[in-house]
Amino acid sequence: MPSSPRASAEDLSDRIKVSFEFFPPKNGDMENQLWESITKLAPFQPDFVSVTYGAGGSTKQPTLKTVSRIASETSLAPAAHLTCVGSDKASVDAVAREFKSVGVKHFVALRGDPPEGVGAAYQPHPEGYANGAELVAGLRAIDDFEISVSAYPERHPESPDFATDIDMLKRKVDAGATRAITQFFFDNDLYERYVERVRRAGIYIPIVPGILPIHNFGQVARFSKLCGTSIPDWLARRFDGLEKDPETRALVAAAIAADQVTDLVERGVDDFHFYTMNRAQLVYAICHLLGLRSGETPAVGAAA
């Protein structure tokens, strides 16, 4: 990472906007953990909180329940992820309208990974939306939603080159996307070069960096390999020997993520999306290190 002087936390606190991503719980214990995380992070007053959606609608009901509860029991703005893989257009549109009926005004529109997982060959449904751009257009035809889409600083693993990848992003923007959120990355130079490519292509929506605090380096390294995210040597060295030392590992992870965000702020970035993994402690520590302080706590209902 660059060694230039860092801005103070006080300097950053009024310049940074944040949003948080959660995933729907699979059982009661996970639901309690989710709502504990939402409650802890809500005082940072994020622009929005998003809830993921499984391929082919595999988490439709848990996602719907979670975003509905966020909309009705908190003052947070919920965004529902929506994918089109494995579903026909009518089914996807029906889900979008169902989310709309519980107060969702913001979608994170994604093509989605194949049911077999990241890296498997993608086959569009014969009567479905073929890609993210078509899904954005379908959502736009239903209502004037805010629509976020994905972006890939190291290009999508299925794209043959950056030109193809950025052309798809432009198609999403032309269809009505209002923001792009990136795949997580650990090299800020890669993000900066990607944004330069995007701007040269005539794309001017916000390109919000997705930040992944590292709870388990081994898991992150394995997933990074599947999705085409590079792991810098310096990052691997930071976690070397900490496999059985969770306390130190958490301190290192918080420092790395805070340093990454601070460096991005110095490069002119002021909007960040955190992949929380439904675990609030690291994200809370990072936001605190950056000078963000909890305001008046938004009302959050007790977990069921």
Tokens 């002021």 locate to 270
Structure tokens at 136: 């954005």
- Looking up tokens 């306390």 gives 247
Q: What backbone phi and psi angles, to 5 degrees, belong to 103?
A: 105, 10
CB 49 within 8 A of CB 20: yes
Residue 181 pairs in a beta bridge with 150, 208
Sequence-separated (6 or more) residues with CB below 8 Å from residue 74: 38, 42, 298, 299, 300, 301
Q: Which residues on neighbouring strands pair with residue 81, listed in sequence order?
A: 108
The answer to whether 113 touches 55, Cβ cutoff 8 Å, is yes
CB 170 within 8 A of CB 202: yes
* Catalytic position from the list 21, 31, 134, 154: 21
Which is it for strands 207-208 and 106-110: parallel, antiparallel or unpaired?
Answer: unpaired
For this structure, is 98 an active site residue? no
DSSP helix/strand/coil, 210: strand
Full strand arrangement of the beta sheet holding 106-110: 207-208, 179-182, 146-151, 106-110, 78-83, 49-51, 17-22, 271-275, 210-211
Q: Which active-site residues does the annotation give?
A: 21
